Amino acid sequence: MSIQRDQSLMAEPPVAAIGGGTCSPAPWKASVVAELAEVVRNEAVNAEYRHLVANCSEEAARAQPGQFFQLLCPQPAGEQPFLRRPMSLYGADPDRRQVEFLYKVTGAGTRGLDTLRPGDRLDIMGPLGVGFTLDPNWRHIVAVGRGAGLATLAPLAKAAKANGTQVTAVFSARRPGLLVSVELFHRHGADVIAVTDSEQTSGPANVERILRRHIAEGRCDAFFTCGSSRLMRVQQRLAREFGLPGQVAMEQQMACGIGLCYCCVRDFNVNGEIVNRRVCWDGPVFDLMEALP
């Protein structure tokens, strides 16, 4: 059946960017897939974090830094996680068709992930969301992360290297044993500065000192951050003071992960006006200056 349409309503052309063009006669093709990936590895990297590597399709393995997947977690004994769980891309290799996640076991869903063994299947849906953007003119960027935020920032180091951009990563954790991905950042040529609560180096004042030094030395063309509102506020202040750009990856509880349900909204300050945005669809990476803690 077809419906009469008033052409005047079409004055503004349909947004063709979604899914690669709406009017083209080319056969439609999915750009987000839900598929059964095959677990290759799922091992503890320290007392809190586990590293999961899975074989997947080429589409999934083309995920970009800052994007995420919705994982349908296996049910651990006695628990029934119902929704999918969002996890940032920790690594992707289109040639080997692999994706990697770094996760902290916190509740029913991640306890379910913890039960996966090599050879098991994991239903992954993605890649989802808007990732980080790297300006080819940036010579040096500074990434500041805490906790699982480091997982989100990790693929950025690889992309920056490919871009010819030097990275300084400031990692924050409760104690040195909980720092993750240090070697991974080193492998991509990044400088890593670790700050911890136990050594009393993770306070905002000390992090600010480190960041100011980088700015003074001309080694900070942009900020990237994830995982701590306190550290984000430090960077927002410095970004404003020195007119630097920045990006932040944000978290919010999700149901659909693809912009349908409006459960993942947060407030943003856009030119003085407070607006509501969906973290899964408009983000999870946002302009640093628009983010509200």
Ligand X SMILES: Cc1cc2nc3c(=O)[nH]c(=O)nc-3n(C[C@H](O)[C@H](O)[C@H](O)COP(=O)(O)OP(=O)(O)OC[C@H]3O[C@@H](n4cnc5c(N)ncnc54)[C@H](O)[C@@H]3O)c2cc1C
Interface residues with ligand X (CB under 6 A) are 68, 81, 83, 85-88, 101-104, 106-110, 148, 151-152, 251-254, 284
Which residues, at least 6 apart from 203, have a Cβ–Cβ distance to it below 8 Å?
none
Residues 249-268 that bind other proteins (CB under 8 A): 252-253, 255-263, 265
CB of 31 to other proteins, least distance (A): 5
Of these partners, ligand X, other proteins, ligand FES, none, which one is at the site of residue 47 (CB under 5 to 8 Å by kind)?
A: none
Count Cβ atoms within 10 A of the Cβ of residue 4 and give its class: 0-12 exposed, 13-18 middle, 19 or more buried.
exposed
CB of 102 to ligand FES, least distance (A): 21
262 binding ligand FES? (CB under 6 A): yes
34 binding other proteins? (CB under 8 A): yes
Extract the tokens encoding 89.
């891309």
CB of 132 to other proteins, least distance (A): 20
CA–CA distance, 211 with 288 (Å, rounded to integer): 15
Rg of the chain on CA atoms, in Å: 20
Site string for ligand FES, 195-234 (x = CB under 6 A): ----------------------------------------
200 binding other proteins? (CB under 8 A): no
CA–CA distance, 241 with 234 (Å, rounded to integer): 11
Phi first, then psi, for residue 93 (nearest 5°) are -135, 100
Residues 112-171 that bind other proteins (CB under 8 A): 125
Q: How far is CA 24 from CA 3, 215, 275, in A?
A: 19, 47, 33
Question: Quick check: 292 and 266 in contact, CB under 8 A?
Answer: yes
In 10 A of CB 23, how many CB atoms?
8
36 binding other proteins? (CB under 8 A): no
CB-nearer residue toward other proteins: 60 or 150: 60
Binding site for other proteins (CB under 8 A): 1-6, 9-10, 12-15, 18-19, 22-23, 28, 30-34, 72, 80-84, 125, 252-253, 255-263, 265, 276, 281
